[in-house]
Structure 1
Amino acid sequence: WSLGTRPWDEMPSIEQREMGHACEWETSMIMRIAPQLVRDDVALAEIPFGIPFLPASRAWITKERSDRGHIGKPHLATEEKGEHLLACFAADVRSLLHRMRKWDGHSWEG
């Protein structure tokens, strides 16, 4: 999810700026590829990402953050956003694979 694309640049209705869990991004992508897996109660309250230990991090599980296990804004998910996100991430992976194929195997600059 962090190969460079900023999905909101081309689709400003995407509010989240990072991947959560069962969030706007994940829920949108599942709505696009397997909508039967998305429950009708996606209108859940936002659970902020939180960064209490920066610059370090600490281990946690989603149930420590929310009863339903989500982090982010699942209530903003749409199938259209899912299509856009999947296209963005697929393009990023293609670009990375292209760079890898062009690498000379020795240089430190990709």
Structure 2
Amino acid sequence: MSVEYHQLTTTEARELGAAGGVVVVPIGATEQHGPHLPLGTDFIMAHTVATRAAEQVEGVLVTPPIWTGFSPHHMQFAGTVSLRTNTLMAVIRDVAESLWHHGIRRILFLNGHGGNANMLGAAAQSLRFESQVRIAVASYWNFATEKIATWRQSPLGGINHACEMETSLMLAAHGEQVHAEKATNTPHVVSNPYLGNDLLGAGAVATPWDFTEITTDGTLGHPELATAERGEDLLTAITQGVVDFLSDFKNWDWQDPQTIIGRDDAR
């Protein structure tokens, strides 16, 4: 049975809401990923993870991906398409409110682009406290951070953008779109102790950078370490993490937060 939300009829969509179904909305970006990865890497991988996970959990459907995101920091590189902050926030809100209107009460926005993360969090808060709409938001790599820490072969600075991780995942899932021979070793080395330099090496202070300030070809990391075999290993771990969450998410009851957060029987 297909897990593609857009293949439902209107009758089936009504039944999905009544049955307490889960809808995953993949969201990514269309932006440069160095000379070796396609512009759509972020939304392609978010959709790939979402689909693989939904196929393993009954009652979960996946919408078509939101293919553009917040990418002004990549606009100096050809091919990038970026939404304004207000536009992206409006898209997230409108999609969530539409699904909620039709009875979907378990909505996960699964993100594949770091530039979207803060706005997804802000949109979730706005929806909750201004519209009484509840959503969950997460970036797909957050479901496997422990795995990534032991999986990686690069030092800190090696997993950032079009890097060891993204290149391996794309080689595993969509290898025909990868030009591995064009990948360049461009680690992100930061000596300032307050700033982060890696997916797993966040600093105490965050500040935005234009990518032209920190890389010449759009790559940040060690894509030369990527292989399809390693990518499949990591993709399996990420997918399992999402499967575990979706299995739990199916039972969330927004009307009784303690069933989600956990009860303190000692009180």
TM-score class normalised by the smaller sequence = 0.7 to 0.9
CA distance in 1, matches of 2:246, 2:151: 29
**1:20, CA displacement in angstroms?**
1.6
1:41 aligns with 2:182: yes
SS in 2 for 1:28: helix
Separation in structure 2 between the aligned mates of residue 95 and residue 104 of structure 1, nearest angstrom: 17
1:11-30 mapped onto 2 (5 Å cutoff)? 14-16=152-154, 19-30=159-170
The structure where helix makes up a greater share of residues is: 2
Aligned to 2:248: 99
Contact 1:47/1:66 (<8 A) preserved: no
Q: Which has the higher contact order (CA 8 A, sep 6+)?
A: 1
Q: Given the alignment of the two structures, is residue 77 of structure 1 paired with residue 77 of structure 2, yes or no?
A: no
- Whole-angstrom CA distance in 1 between matches of 2:248 and 2:189: 32
Which amino acid is the alignment partner of residue 23 of structure 1?
C
Is this contact kept in 2: 1:21–1:71, CA < 8 A? Answer: yes
Question: 1:52 Cα deviation (Å)?
Answer: 2.2
Residue 261 of structure 2 aligns with which residue? 109
* Other structure's SS at 2:245 match: helix
Shift of 1:5: 4.5
Name structure 1 gaps, 5 residues minimum.
none
SS in 2 for 1:20: strand
More strand by share: 2
Identity %: 26
Q: Report which of the two structures shows the higher radius of gyration computed on alpha carbons.
A: 2
1:16-43 CA-partner distances (Å, limit 9, x unpaired): 578521010100011112223222122x
Unaligned ranges ≥5, structure 2:
1-140, 197-202, 263-267
Instruction: Provide the C-alpha distance between the structure 1 equivalents of 2:168 and 2:151, rounded to a whole number of angstroms.
Output: 12
CA distance in 1, matches of 2:177, 2:205: 34
Runs of 4+ more than 4 Å apart: 16-19
CA contact (8 A) 1:28 1:82 kept: yes
Q: Tell me if the contact between 2:144 and 2:238 (Cα under 8 Å) persists in the aligned partners.
A: no
Partners of 2:168 and 2:226 within 8 A in 1: yes
